[in-house]
Amino acid sequence: MLTDERPLAVVSDVLEATRRYEGYDVESGDVVFYDERGRRLTPTFPYRSETRILGLRVTEDSGPYELTVEREGHPDVLSELDTVAYLEENPWFECLDEIRAALAGAEDAP
C-alpha cells in the first residue's frame, strides 16, 4: 500500500491493512492499496453512518471499510513503484527490486 508520503508498506493481509489505516485516510485517498498480484484495491464503506440532522451528516467517521479488486481504470503497483520514496521495513522484501521480481512472477501465474 502507498500513502501520500510515498512509502510502500507490505502487510500480511487485508485485515492487517484495515487495522493499520484509518477510514478517513483511506477515504481521502491518502492511502492506496494493492493485492499480492499488484492489482489496485478499491475501498468501500458499507457501514458508514448516514445519521443526518437537517440534511447534514452528524459524524465524519466513515466507519470500517472493505477492499475489493478494481478491475480497470487505475495503474497496477508495478507502474507506481518508480514513485515510491522508500520501502517500509517488512519480513518479506528488502528492496523494491525484490518486489518487482515477485510481481513479475505473479503476472505469469494463472
Residue 86 in domain: yes
> 70-83 pLDDT, tens per residue?
877 677 888 889 99
Give CA separation, 80 vs 11, 38, 58, 96, in Å. 17, 10, 36, 11
Are the C-beta atoms of 82 and 43 separated by less than 8 Å? no
The larger pLDDT score, comparing residue 77 to residue 46, is at 77
pTM for the predicted model, two decimal places = 0.77
Residue 45 in domain: yes
Least confident range of 6-15, 47-56, 79-88: 47-56
Q: E strands of the chain, at which residues?
A: 2-3, 7-8, 31-34, 40-44, 52-53, 56-57, 66-69, 86-87
Give the pLDDT confidence score for residue 106 in this predicted structure: 73
Q: Domain total for the chain?
A: 1
pLDDT of residue 51 exceeding 80, the answer is: no
Which domain range does residue 91 map to? 2-105
Total Cβ atoms within 10 A of residue 65: 20
Instruction: Report CA 96 to chain centroid distance, whole Å.
Output: 17
Which residue reads 527490486 in cell numbers?
97
Residue 110 in domain: no
Tell me the average pLDDT across 103-107. 79
Give the pLDDT confidence score for residue 58 in this predicted structure: 58
Residue 100 in domain: yes
pLDDT of residue 2 exceeding 70, the answer is: no
pLDDT of residue 21 exceeding 80, the answer is: yes
Residue 38 in domain: yes
Alpha helices in the chain (DSSP H): 14-20, 23-27, 77-80, 96-108
